Amino acid sequence: MHRRISEYIIESLIRLSGFLVIAFVFLIFLFLLRDSLSLFKEYKIGEFLFGRNWLPISEPPKFGIVPLFLGSIYVTAGAIVICVPVGIAAAMFIAEVAPTFLKNILKSLIEILAAIPSVVLGFIGIVWLSPYLKQTMGLSTGMCGLTGSLLLAFMALPTIISISEDALVGVPRAYKEAAFGLGATRWQALWRIVLPAASPGIIAGVMLGIGRVIGETMVVMMVTGNSPVVPTSILQPLRTLTATIAGEMGETVSGSEHYFALFAVGLVLFIITFIINFIADSCLRRARK
């Protein structure tokens, strides 16, 4: 009897925490939506979504999100182009090629990498990476999209590597033996059999890595130059959605148009991250089937 009651309590607690998580996400969304809608009472939603100028303190103010959105896309796309191939290759190396002792060293190194605070990376970006890029590529300033992309790629790597490595290791040995038994070389087995079999897990890892890149604020605020103009190249200073919110929130008057505009930016960010996590999740679910 006692057993039944305690089990009932534990079960209810678990269920409650589950519901709480859902409720929190939903409330955050509602909260963002409410404040964003306050903006659109006074400011046209079309001008917000398609405006090419972000000038919050001019008269009249302009809240066009295009430069920020593109800034995020440039930096993120740059980071993806760098971290996806590097991350997958590293995972393949750790899972299939590296001898055990090297494997263990690399795995703990990657854990350490994941634990570096982003401020520290931003700091490295300012004092070392950006002057280096400026010099070697002959840029007018090293505080640009590429610097941000490189650092973000670095931040996404641990996620991508460790999840992809799990996926590769999880491929049944039987597949590999079947491939070898037919006379495949190690590379052929890896490329044609193991990699496709692990692909749902790898995609999920990549998506989670990308989610981290899009949501990251500190690094991009420190190294991308913070200039809210429509970027034409990744080598220019630019500004992302996240950096805009973090940078301007302190200067706004609560309840002002600018204040609500920042919430609208937050809503856009929320929706993007939500979509990416959703895709990652469905990939993982497919992988488990």
Partner 1 sequence: MVKETVIKTVNLNCRYGALQVLKDLNLEIHRNEIFGIIGPANSGKTTFLRALNRLNFLNASYSQDGEIFFADKNLKNICDNILRKRIGIIFALPQVLPVSIYNNIAYGPKVHGIAKKDAIEQIVEESLKKASLWDEVKDRLDSPAMKLSGGQQQRLCIARTLAVEPDVILYDEHCSGLDPISTAKIEDAMQQLKETYTQILVTNNTKQAARVSERCAFFLMGELIELDETAALFTEPKDKRTDDYITGRFG
Tell which residue, 229, 230, 261, has the closest CA to residue 248.
Answer: 261
Sign of CA dihedral 156, 153, 266, 256: positive
Name which position in 174, 250, 253, 254 contacts partner 1 (CB under 8 A): 174
Binding range to partner 1, per CB under 8 A, among 132-140, 191-199, 235-243, 254-262: 191-199
Contacts of 40 by beta carbon, 8 Å cutoff, 6+ apart: 48, 264
* Residue 285 binds to partner 1 (criterion: CB under 8 A): no
* Residue 40 binds to partner 1 (criterion: CB under 8 A): no
* Residue 98 binds to partner 1 (criterion: CB under 8 A): no
Q: Which residues pair with 238 in a beta bridge?
A: 225
- Residue window 54-93: x/- pattern of binding to partner 1, with contact defined by CB under 8 A: ----------------------------------------
* Residue 104 binds to partner 1 (criterion: CB under 8 A): no
* Residue 177 binds to partner 1 (criterion: CB under 8 A): yes
Q: H or E element: which one contains 245?
A: helix 241-248
Name which position in 188, 232, 233, 256 contacts partner 1 (CB under 8 A): 188
Tell which residue, 108, 151, 97, has the closest CA to residue 128.
Answer: 151
Crossing angle for the helix pair 195-215 and 145-169, nearest 10 degrees?
A: 140
Name which position in 20, 178, 271, 275 contacts partner 1 (CB under 8 A): 178
Contact at 8 Å (CB) between 70 and 230? yes
Name which position in 183, 253, 254, 288 contacts partner 1 (CB under 8 A): 183
The residue ranges that bind partner 1 (CB under 8 A) are: 174-175, 177-185, 188, 192-193, 196-197
